[in-house]
Structure 1
């Protein structure tokens, strides 16, 4: 298959999984948690690499997920100790990210783990990093990782949709109904960690934050129903991937950067023109009422 197919498939899988999770992050007012986790999992990736001796996808995903959960636990602990929410997020994610940078820099001579790859990624090279099983080329490693992450997200959301919905809108009511709120909180954070590490090699730790938030924020302006918001976030993410890749091809620019930039453009258009919350349409309605 052509490289264009693998690049687009990787981008679509990444944007779909990030869009679904981003909806719950926005509803919980935890947008910065996605940024924190995407940086804080770097020590888990580096430690998993050192122990496994290679870029084992399963080991890296487990290591990143565990560090993501640890970062969420530490953030919650600081908040319960009286530290402000934004300060606790900033302290934990910068400290853990710095630890990851130190681990990588100390072992840079012995391992093939580049900080530029972790931070920025390069989706154009995805078709060359393949996974071989029993001597058979199974295709790009990132496609399998992102496909597994998307499948896990979809299955868990389908199984526990009501629980995730109730804990997102009213945690107190969810606790009164007997739903283990913290369990679903950590489950969501674990999915964010897993999706972040699966996206590292395609768009990098920095750009994955944009795809976790921007498509979901765009969908939030289009509807007041969670089910439709999840659908619109996936559509916005896929549209950003396709249009962003086209823009990168025309302008010979960074593919990951073009995808996130396109997502930002779609958000601005939605912010101005959406039928429910569009700024220009609200102004027009106000003028009509005044007239």
Structure 2
């Protein structure tokens, strides 16, 4: 087992993706909308197909824009079904992502069956190919792995988004009605959050895949939530977990000769399971007291 430049690039890129997904996942979890990420990850498929039709390439800006627009559409559909049609949130999520995902599969089968654009290509990624997928300019300059640049750009956008809108995200996550009363555009903040989730999902397709992005959106925040109920420590804990997941996921995959992305999510699940057991043990050692504080603060 060695730690070479390829290992560093894979772990570094995986950490950037896990941190970006995890920080957004914290606010989705607080809004009780964690599975909205699952809906968006499936609902963007028609946008990917349409972007591919326009550009003729899977790696174009049109694909990202198409997927982002479908992610926003999915968010609006979920919100409309929940508030106007009075459908339960879980049902509105299920209706939206199955409908849009089915449309995407139909578009692929009808118009893209002769090209390398199928469900498996779109939904699964392999970060192990990162070192050989280089970004080379027209002048021949090698800038390094393309996916690492995408992950870094995504991390920059997510970090900036949370930093600039931290107060608004916090207030609308805890009490959307109160946020609206004091003048915060709750609907706009929610739409911006879901747009960022859409972009993060799409930009992570080729590395960990859309399905595995869902796990990174949900599991690290849920694990950190077992240990703290304060928002800033929750974000910090999620960041640390993202780094640990990438590191141990890579080396376990190396040792078992398995999928790196899949092993990253497996490690995330192991961290969550261990946290549950440790908290249960801590609870049993404190007679008559809860293992976790009941209040939530910043």
TM-score interval, normalised by the smaller of the two chains: over 0.9
Q: Equivalents in 1 of 2:147, 2:107: separation in Å?
A: 23
Partner SS, residue 209 of structure 2: helix
Q: Equivalents in 2 of 1:62, 1:127: separation in Å?
A: 26
Residue 43 (str. 1) matches residue 46 (str. 2): yes
CA RMSD of aligned residues (A): 1.7
Normalised to the residue count of structure 1, the TM-score between the two structures is: 0.93
Deviation string, structure 1 residues 63-112 (Cα, Å, up to 9, x no partner) = 11110010010111111212221111111101111111122223334433
Relative to structure 1, is the Cα distance of residues 288 and 195 closer, same or farther in structure 2, using a 3 angstrom cutoff?
Answer: closer
Deviation string, structure 1 residues 139-174 (Cα, Å, up to 9, x no partner) = 222212221111111011111111111111111111
Higher helix share: 1
Deviation of the 1:2 alpha carbon:
3.3
Partner SS, residue 202 of structure 1: coil
Residue 97 (str. 1) matches residue 101 (str. 2): yes
- Alpha carbons 2:283, 2:289 under 8 Å: kept: no
Q: Find the counterpart in structure 1 of residue 129 from structure 2.
A: 125
Count, aligned residues:
285
Q: Find the counterpart in structure 1 of residue 238 from structure 2.
A: 233
Deviation string, structure 1 residues 186-218 (Cα, Å, up to 9, x no partner) = 000001000001111111111111011000111
Relative to structure 1, is the Cα distance of residues 285 and 57 closer, same or farther in structure 2, using a 3 angstrom cutoff?
Answer: farther
Q: Find the counterpart in structure 2 of residue 155 from structure 1.
A: 160
- Alpha carbons 2:123, 2:205 under 8 Å: kept: yes
Give runs of aligned pairs for residues 184-203 of structure 1, distance below 5 A.
Answer: 184-203=189-208
Unaligned ranges ≥5, structure 2 = 291-298
- Which of 80, 86, 89 in structure 1 is aligned with 2:90? 86
Normalised to the residue count of structure 2, the TM-score between the two structures is: 0.91
Task: Tell me which moved more, 107-116 or 156-165.
Answer: 107-116
- Which of 222, 226, 231 in structure 2 is aligned with 1:221? 226
- Alpha carbons 2:124, 2:208 under 8 Å: kept: yes
Q: Equivalents in 1 of 2:13, 2:61: separation in Å?
A: 18
Task: Tell me which moved more, 56-65 or 81-90.
Answer: 56-65
Q: Equivalents in 2 of 1:46, 1:23: separation in Å?
A: 30
Task: Tell me which moved more, 256-265 or 93-102.
Answer: 93-102
Q: Equivalents in 1 of 2:110, 2:169: separation in Å?
A: 41
Q: Equivalents in 2 of 1:130, 1:74: separation in Å?
A: 38
Q: Find the counterpart in structure 2 of residue 138 from structure 1.
A: 143
Q: Find the counterpart in structure 1 of residue 180 from structure 2.
A: 175
Relative to structure 1, is the Cα distance of residues 233 and 288 closer, same or farther in structure 2, using a 3 angstrom cutoff?
Answer: closer
Relative to structure 1, is the Cα distance of residues 111 and 138 closer, same or farther in structure 2, using a 3 angstrom cutoff?
Answer: farther
Q: Equivalents in 1 of 2:106, 2:253: separation in Å?
A: 33
